[in-house]
Amino acid sequence: MNISTKFRAPLALSVLPLALLAACGDKADKDAKGPTDPAEQAALNDQIMVDPDLAGQNEGNAALTGGVEQSLPAIAMTPEVIQAAKEDAMALVGGSVNLKPAAKPVVLAANAPDTPTLTAAARAAVTPGGSNCASLVKYSANWAAKLPVALPVYPRGATQEAAGTDEGQCALRVVNFLTPVALEDVLAFYTTRAGSNGYSAEHVKKGGEDILSGTKGGASYVIYAHRQSNGLTSVDLVTSGK
């Protein structure tokens, strides 16, 4: 399924954030030399477009480049870079003794219904209090720096695109980043950060993607991750609440 199809298909609310973000990883995976610069139907009626080729159709949500696609620098994948990122991640969880691996995933068929936890997390992110937050997002790299403290971009991760909104009852963040760190290490980091900050944490594997999701009161997160053919881990992170 191409990016345009993903965005234009009427998807169930429970998978909306994942549909919004899956395009990011697909776009990056097409260029093993280095991802290109960034630019579905939203909760109710509008489309939200994260792909740079589609973002120009929604003038209220300009792409990060201002509509001009440019190449980002290649991401270093040396052992030294990977180790430095992992050490920074360890520091954020209080040392390796506190790092908890992600639970064994619940494996779902690609067309299977989502679990109650994943559905609740997606709903809390996109429609808190009945708001249609997905229709309000604006695109800027600055949103990556406005993620909840508990759930930051993985240390030294390279943000590819970011969007968000704080309008009304919304506190939605949508960020795609790449890291050379192994998928299991990234999942362990977010499992630990979520748990130590009072969020629930569920691990699902669906359609070739690892999905972590959870809630804390009215706040929620959904993390959609996979290993690309070029060896980088692509992560799509959706959070709601601060």
78-132: pLDDT as tens digits: 999 999 999 999 999 999 999 999 999 999 998 999 899 988 888 888 888 777 8
Average pLDDT of every residue of the chain? 76
The separation between CA 40 and the C-alpha centre of its own chain, rounded to angstroms, equals: 16
Buried b (16+ CB within 10 A) or exposed e, 124-134: bbbbbeebbbb
Nearest to 18, CA basis, from 130, 155, 157, 114: 114
Q: What is the band of 31 on the pLDDT scale with cuts at 50, 70, 90?
A: very low
Would the pLDDT of 60 be above 50?
A: no
Is the overall model pTM greater than 0.85, yes or no?
no
Q: What are phi and psi of 124, to 5 degrees?
A: -65, -35
